[in-house]
Amino acid sequence: MSAALIRWPAEAIWEAVAPLLPGFTVEVLPTIDSTNTELMRRARAGQCEPTLLVAEQQTAGRGRLGRVWQSDVGASLMMSLGLPLAPVDWSGLSLAVGVSVAESLQPVLPALGAGQPARVGLKWPNDLWLGGGNAAAGDRKLGGILVETASFVTPQTAASQAITSTGTSTSIARYVVVGIGINVLPRSPEGMSMPPGSLQDVETGLDAPTALLRIVPPLVAMLQSFAGYGFAPMQPRFAARDVLQGRAVTLSDGHTGTAHGVGDDGALLVHTAGGMQAITSSEISVRPSAVPPV
């Protein structure tokens, strides 16, 4: 797809978000190394205004644990939302983002079984998975989320506009960048650890601009809620899409167990031979060791 043919809803997004985030801007770039990297560069230079940055092509896109995310023009949605944020508790932020994105793309989960659209699920801690619509297709990765914060206190000018738990200004707000990458068109599974899925499996004809408009305004509203209440109110909504629930999992330290959902703080609960463990994203990654039949 030619970049010239992509019509991004920048104005519609700005109109929806600007009243909530003073100083908010929307930028669409034809190519960049990484939208997350660019917003972090700007933050370190003191540019901490609320910004949505969309790239039609990334040359060095990044995922969790340094994984590469690259895509041809029009084949993926690649965006980063940067803004000052001062929540009471940062725990579970990437999970909350996942819930917001999944619900925007598929507000109602379809029933299990062949003939139904693929279900947009959440794989702890930051992946969007498809499954359930076609048992033969199995689980597929739809996209990923990368949340980063600047390692310094934001300038007072930006902190005064931060989303906080009280709605008042704060000098300890940090600049957070929420990066989201989603497959829009089917892609080759070559070189991937699991088969990829795409938005075409969810809704025929759903393209990157339409998905962007669906995702961003609810995401901003969710971040405002998260600042005040944290992850706990979203835990039941994550549970409804939790693809690891009840599955045997293998932890990166070699231990195995069964996933039992997530806690109010977003930690993954895994029952191992040593008892129930609460796993945080900073400690280990998780891979399902067995996939039950749909």
By annotation, the residues acting in catalysis are 64, 141, 287
The first and second tokens of residue 259, run together, are 């996933």
- The residues pairing with 141 across neighbouring beta strands, listed in sequence order, are 129, 196
Amino acid of residue 248: A
Q: Which of 205, 210, 208, 186 is nearest to 197 (CA)?
A: 186
Which helix (H) or strand (E) segment holds residue 177: the answer is: strand 174-183
3-state secondary structure of 47: coil
The SS3 assignment for 233 reads: helix
- 58 touches 70 (CB < 8 A): yes
C-alpha 58/C-alpha 76 separation (Å) is 10
CB contact at 8 A, 180 and 97: yes
